[in-house]
Structure 1
Amino acid sequence: MPRSSDNLWDLATSEVQRKDSTEDDTEVSTETERSVFFIGNKHGGKTTIILRCTDRDEAPKPTLALEYTFGRRAKGHNTPKDIAHFWELGGGTSLLDLIPIPITSENIGTFSIVLVLDLSKPSELWYTMENLLQATRKHVDKIISDIGKSNSKAGSQTMQNIGRSIPKDHPDKELIDPFPLPLLIIGSKYDIFQELDSEKRKIICKTLRFVAHYYGASLVFTSKSETHKGVLRSLVNHLAFGQDKSRFVSVDHNKPLVIPAGLDSLNQIGSPPASDSDLRQGNVRTPMELWKKIYERIFPPKNTNDSKDIKDPAKDPQYSERDIDAMRSQKDQELEQYKRNADKSWKSMALGPHTR
């Protein structure tokens, strides 16, 4: 409350300080942070998608291992900006050990997964999807278990959040196994995918629809088309900034698929193209195993050799540093000289007289 002794300047200063304090309190209470982890095929377009969704007009560079960037979005005029942390795993399935790094017990409540699958490589599709999702789920399940052991109430709350993407009254609620984190599956390079035989495209579309629905995930196909970019941005921004996601649905296998989580059904997807002998075999225990068996019969899996293709970052031009590279070259030469001298020493010892 102003005092009678305050002059006009004192009153103005006091009013500005009061407004600043109010705005700071509002910003702290309304600002949110979310994390989105991009995994998927090597060279599948993960970096390009992140740049597109963060409005960065720059050429994508190969992802070395695990990379981080962030984006900001304002909710409205004079409101604090929400922050999205974007993580990207490079190397396809070769760096599964790095998956636990960005996912922690502190951020798991606001964490999402984006799985990018290269539609132009159908023979690598299931292998990539299965290995990345299994490794991610194993780590997430461990975190949830640890939370439950230390705080049963927090653990129960975390478990309740699983499957929230599927409506409670959905007819398939008891038949699916939702992924423990919000999941978006992106089929990239749709323009190349269109060149495949129509029947093969149909099988790939049905398979990915089943996988996405089974895990309670959203599914979208994308290419260089501006139309595809808009739908993709809507779904990614929903995970990153909590914005309303598109309710547009497209299930025609002759067009890019767009199916937000919870808007598909097993009845609409239909059964896999299985023969009677496939259905009678007793080693298939779950619907997921049946779809995998049928898919890999049509598209035999190929060894991706991800681990063999990892490049030495010290020789990558984008990380060049003149002084460091010169020192590295000198040390490499010293190492080679040491190896040659050591080899000569061992040979001389082997050829020398033996003592009893």
Structure 2
Amino acid sequence: MKAGTNMTIAGKIVYVLLLLTITMVMRSAGNNSSVLVMTVGNSSVLTCPLKGNITMLRWTITPKAGGLCTLVYRVDMNMTHRTTCSDNINWTFRAGLPPALEIRQVGIAQEGNYSCEFSSTEGNFHKMYHLTVLAPPRLSLSCDEQGSPVCEAAAGKPPAQLLWVPERSSTADEKCHDNGTVTVLSKFTACSTNVTNVTTCIVSHPAGNWSQTIACCPSEKINTNVFLYACSITCVLMIITLLAVIYYFKLHSDRSCHKTKPPEIAPIHSQQDDTMEVEPYTTYVQKENVIYNSVSDLTVGQNLPQNLCPGT
């Protein structure tokens, strides 16, 4: 409510300053100065208060944007001349009267001073117009991600005033453009998030007044955001848990594979095995000795030479 009140006060200040500026300009120029207010896209015809029989008519235009424009009409030669003027500014001819200046579909670029000078049999005269161009803003009303109504009055000149019904706290931002227009953006702060909020945005501007109504559902949007947030957290936790399990099993398997092998036990060489290996040789020697002794006894018994064997 406070923000809406501040906007109303600011709008009134702008209007007062505009009126004071117009008044000061009119006083400085005297009675020969007039203020002309036009809306973008409209057309108008400017005339001079002619006196007597004119011989020459001249318009000098000094716009806020662009160069100087001049249009000259010579009565004696019935000739017109123009320099560096836009296409929507030209002469318009009337039956039995000198030509007048016509502005077709005025734009912001045509805002400025329009000076008329003419010479007649009664002398030289001068007339000044101060043209102010109004640009009506483009109204748009929508709901943001949090379910709050957002009202925008785009490219208005002067800046528009935005009011909410019902009146609640709101924030307004202004963005100035290079062509002199201003976009006003206001966000309505809803009081309840459990019910549908039906709000109306009212745009007040010198070129006219407009309004739009919208119904936003903050609860649905908030619940949706909470649900998406919970799903995201759950997915992240599941992924972390899965990675922890995989890491645990991998670490456990690596430890099992890297266990040290038990040392190989060298075979015990027992004395019994040595005895078993020696016994065949001993038995063989014993047998040889027995045979040798038998042969010796037989030789001695037969008185044979020891180097001869029986039957050989």
Greater share of strand: 2
User: Which has the larger Rg?
Assistant: 2
Q: Normalising by structure 2, what TM-score?
A: 0.19
Higher relative contact order, structure no. (Cα contacts within 8 Å, ≥ 6 residues apart): 1
Greater share of helix: 1
